[in-house]
Structure formats: C-alpha cells, structure tokens
Structure 1
C-alpha cells in the first residue's frame, strides 16, 4: 500500500512518534490497512473549523458517548485519507463547502482504542486527522438525530473533550488559527 501521505509527517513527542511507527508498520504489512476486520486499521477524520469566527464543530458520537471530530472508516476501494476525511466530514455535518484548511496536510495522527460494541470486538483506529474549513457554519446539519453537532470556541471545545486526545488536535488548530487570523 502506498503511504506517501505519511512520509512528510513530523510527529510531536514520543507518544505520537510511536503511533506513527505503528502506522508505517501497518501500511507495510497489510494489503488493505483500511479494512475494518483488522485489530488496528486506518481511519481518517476532520476537525471542522470556521476560521472567520475561530470556532470548531464537534459531533456527538453515540457509541463512544463523547464529543468528537467528524470522520471514520474508508468505504471499500478508498485509500486516500484526505478524500476519506472530506467525504466523512461532509456526510456527518451536511456542510457542502468543506475544503482542507489551511492546506491538505495531515495535522495530527493518533492511535485510538475503541471498546467492543455493536457486534465488534475491541480494536484500534490509526486515525489520520485533517482540518477542514467552511464559510457557511449555519448550513451544518447532523446526519441523524442521535449525532447532534455543536459549534464551539476552542476553549469550550477543550472543556467538553477533557483529557481525550482530541484536545491535542484542538491545540494544533488553535496555533494555526492564531497564525491565520480571520475577521473574528
């Protein structure tokens, strides 16, 4: 499998470096590292931002019972993580104008534990995280009533996610928003 999209990624710290190493090993060992049948498989996600207001959009994840970024699994035949993250974010938020922000580079990589449930054994996601921007935050619509969406300031989002690893993704978004200030 080609994992060129991971080639230029620079891990920050030992934990992330270990996660990146596991992802390289997964990509090298598996013909389809996106397959949900693997105990560790790739997923792609997007933290949706409205750069003009500095807010982020979080989605309630019913199974995990927590607020998370949009994202998920590849559909059969998909292997481009940016395209997967964009598709998943559009499906889960209803936003038709999402674009990679400020560019299409991976912004954070995390190996996440997923407990058993819905007929699946416990497993891990090798999550490749991107930032996507919308110019029309009011167009956001949840994909179903059990997955509400919330626009939040970065401080509100940090409080809501607590110690979840999404906090580190939010910190990276804060740094980029500070470097690319909008009207706010």
Structure 2
C-alpha cells in the first residue's frame, strides 16, 4: 500500500473533526502529490506529541525557523510506509529518544496551519507517542532547544494548537 493510500484510509477512519477531515480528504483527492513538500497547494505532515504520562510532562521543540515551542514532526518521506511510521520517525529523529511507542487509536488530532510560501499549508496529522522511562533527549539540527514541560506549563510556552493536542492526548490516555 502506498503512503497516499494509507493516508486516505487513516483519514477515513478518523472519527474526530469531521469538517476538517473532509478538507484533508478533498485535498488529497484533488492533489495526488499532496503527501509531498513539493505540492505548493499544501501537503500532509505527520507530527507527534512526545509524552511522559508517569511524570506528567511533554517534550517540545523550539523550532529553528518558526521560533515557537511545538510538538515534533515534519514532512513525509518516500520510504515511510504509513503516516504513523512518519510521525514516529520524525519524533525519534527530532528527539533523539529511542524506544518511543505510538499511543494506540490512530491520530489524536488534525491541524491545518498556514506556512510561508512557496507552499501555503501544512495539513498536519497529529499523533501522540509515549517516551520510555528515563528517556533522555538530544537536540537535533532542526531545533534551537528541546525541553520537557509539565502539563500545566504548556499553555505558558506553546500556542493553542499544542494545548489542544495535549488536551486530546490526555483524554486518550
């Protein structure tokens, strides 16, 4: 199965946010290249909130280009077998944490947000991954900083989309 086909199946199976989900499906149906960064109309991305439920905290990155505290994630790659695998790969690469596991149940949220030209939209499929006990992070070259924040600190440092992702993740737990 192609990554495109997997994305369509994942989105069709996602029960939340029905209007936004349909926007995603419509985008893919009109843009066969909608999985890839080269699609200037916008492209799917896969992100993951790294969570340590035992210690009540999440790992956020200070994004190098945007200079905002965000969940980890990014562009799908041709070798990614699924959206879930893309989100896990991105979270592992950007956190340096081995042994992350995807929270069962598929995506936690969808978030469509504007980005600078030449592309205009990131059509993000958001997952949550659980960090193993004693996880130690390593800053990647895509980050200015990488830091654990208590659940109650996230709203002080991150935007509303990250807060909504954390709320949805905690509800799933």
Instruction: Sort the TM-score into its range (normalised by shorter chain).
Output: 0.7 to 0.9
Partner deviation per Cα, 1:86-131 (whole Å, 9 max, x = no partner): 0000000001110012x15110001111124xxxx25101100000
Name the CA shift for 1:28/1:146 in 2 (closer, same or farther; >3 Å): closer
Following superposition, the deviation at residue 145 of structure 1 comes to 8.0
Q: Which runs of 5+ in 2 are unaligned?
A: none
Give secondary structure in 2 for the equivalent of 1:90: helix
The answer on 1:19 being equivalent to 2:20 is yes
Indicate the residue corresponding to 1:167 in structure 2.
Answer: 163
Following superposition, the deviation at residue 18 of structure 1 comes to 3.2
Name the CA shift for 1:131/1:145 in 2 (closer, same or farther; >3 Å): closer
Give secondary structure in 1 for the equivalent of 2:156: helix
Indicate the residue corresponding to 2:130 in structure 1.
Answer: 133
Give secondary structure in 1 for the equivalent of 2:33: coil
Give secondary structure in 2 for the equivalent of 1:148: strand
- Aligned partners of 1:64 and 1:122: how far apart in 2? 15
Length-normalised TM-score, structure 2: 0.88
User: RMSD over aligned Cα, in angstroms?
Assistant: 1.8
Indicate the residue corresponding to 2:66 in structure 1.
Answer: 64
The answer on 1:124 being equivalent to 2:121 is yes
Following superposition, the deviation at residue 141 of structure 1 comes to 0.8
Name the CA shift for 1:145/1:166 in 2 (closer, same or farther; >3 Å): closer
